[in-house]
Structure 1
């Protein structure tokens, strides 16, 4: 018996409080307000796993706040592995019945972005030049990433306001693209949204945007970098067709989910 195990025996055998999930597992939410040393945590974890095994539990989730990051190694020693991490916590998982494969759902597989197509009463499209990135030096549609808990249609409105100072309202979802192995190996969904401008005076974001202006659609679509990319050219053609009223996208219809009263959007062009 090594010194680590001898020290563990002297610690009172307690188990963690846990919430049962809907799939035969348990969730442990560690509290940052309750400091715990490595040895006590390791001892309680071993006792808890034994207790949950007797109860027939399967998956174990432990949510460790960043203040308790020093306990990660103790969990790993017991066979836990990383599931995902956020700014303030790390989620670790453990599968008790080793004789069968685990059924933990994978971490989020996609990042979601938007591109905003906004044109004014003169038929000009709102475009920006970014200070960094792959499209530096090229006029492009305002783009951005959808925040957690944010609707796609609202993200497009927010990004346009942040980058150009133009207030808008959502009109239609025109198209979307899926790609793989993008941001840190994750897949990527990119939605092209048409917005209606509510004002026309540009007040660009200085931190990220080099220039912003209203540009003739034809001039935007004729840029060499737009035409060098099959995807960019297709998006430009869709925007031109929409401007000429030869294309119909998807409207955002506010509804509720099928099993609760939570609000959500259905994007459709046939209702």
Structure 2
């Protein structure tokens, strides 16, 4: 036990936390077993990434994980993260049996977590929201772009709707709106503003929150070519005709009616939304603010900052 205690003291003093050199155990005929290679995160937990590990058998993983968990608990570590590539899904069962739970999964990996503390876990939950957009697109004649989907809730109901879609990871709301319209109808557009947004809970797979932004776009091309995999039809329609569809008057369709009325008021210049203001840092960062303030907001902020600095 003397060797083990000495090595544990060394691990405590190593802020980089390269555990492969740390905790040891004797197995079989003097074979030395190293811990899983983990590094300390900014919250004092441990992150183990097995994405680049060339080989790892179930038995090897079982032994190393067991020893590692004991070492981490002795060192006061609480939140443990293990990232397993999909090629090593056989290791998941071993981790689950040792108290790990699923946190999230992507195409390439599954992330598992374990809480070693006595108090309730403070590990953050997986992403709980999805961001969607609806595009209110006007042409030069004041008509709006509407589509009919060939699947989903409105299939075969003869209901015309605005183009909608989901924002991709790392994509801005304004960019996602432009992309979705182009993909579905081949119409090129320019982002104008966010008109409104809504939230609905337990909306995605009965456990996520859906945040939906209604965006106004200005069309720069007008010939429609539909994405046949998603749409059965698309056309330009007078805004009043869109608003007055019988579907919008049905019981339980108040949200559709509210959004339609916002589009109508906006087409008559009776409604003002939120412009996007880009910082000098990146187009990936936008502030959406009252349209009557956005034109001067960035320059005013810079002027105030310059004044403050000079004083």
TM-score if structure 1 supplies the norm length? 0.92
1:92 matched to which residue of 2?
A: 112
Residues 57 and 96 in structure 1, CA contact (< 8 A), matched pair in contact too: yes
Query: In the superposition, relative to structure 1, how do residues 14 and 262 fare at CA in structure 2: closer, same or farther (>3 Å)?
Result: farther
2:235 matched to which residue of 1?
A: 213
C-alpha distance in 1 between matches for 2:182 and 2:159: 20
Alignment partner of 1:182 is 2:203 = yes
2:279 matched to which residue of 1?
A: 255
Query: In the superposition, relative to structure 1, how do residues 256 and 78 fare at CA in structure 2: closer, same or farther (>3 Å)?
Result: farther
Residues 18 and 29 in structure 1, CA contact (< 8 A), matched pair in contact too: yes
Query: In the superposition, relative to structure 1, how do residues 256 and 181 fare at CA in structure 2: closer, same or farther (>3 Å)?
Result: farther
- Matches of residues 225-244 of structure 1 in structure 2 within 5 Å? 225-228=247-250, 229-244=253-268
1:82 matched to which residue of 2?
A: 102
Displacement of 1:54: 2.4
Question: Which has the greater radius of gyration?
Answer: 2
2:143 matched to which residue of 1?
A: 124
- Unaligned runs of 5+ residues in structure 1 are 1-7
Alignment partner of 1:36 is 2:56 = yes
The DSSP-based 3-state class of the residue aligned with 2:168 is coil
Displacement of 1:17: 1.3
C-alpha distance in 1 between matches for 2:120 and 2:233: 53
Alignment partner of 1:64 is 2:96 = no
Residues 172 and 284 in structure 2, CA contact (< 8 A), matched pair in contact too: no
C-alpha distance in 2 between matches for 1:77 and 1:37: 16
* Number of aligned residues: 260
C-alpha distance in 2 between matches for 1:223 and 1:158: 27
What do you get for the CA RMSD once the two structures are aligned? 1.7
TM-score if structure 2 supplies the norm length? 0.80
The DSSP-based 3-state class of the residue aligned with 1:105 is coil
1:194 matched to which residue of 2?
A: 216
1:141 matched to which residue of 2?
A: 162
C-alpha distance in 1 between matches for 2:271 and 2:130: 27
Displacement of 1:12: 4.2
- Unaligned runs of 5+ residues in structure 2 are 1-25, 298-311
1:110 matched to which residue of 2?
A: 129
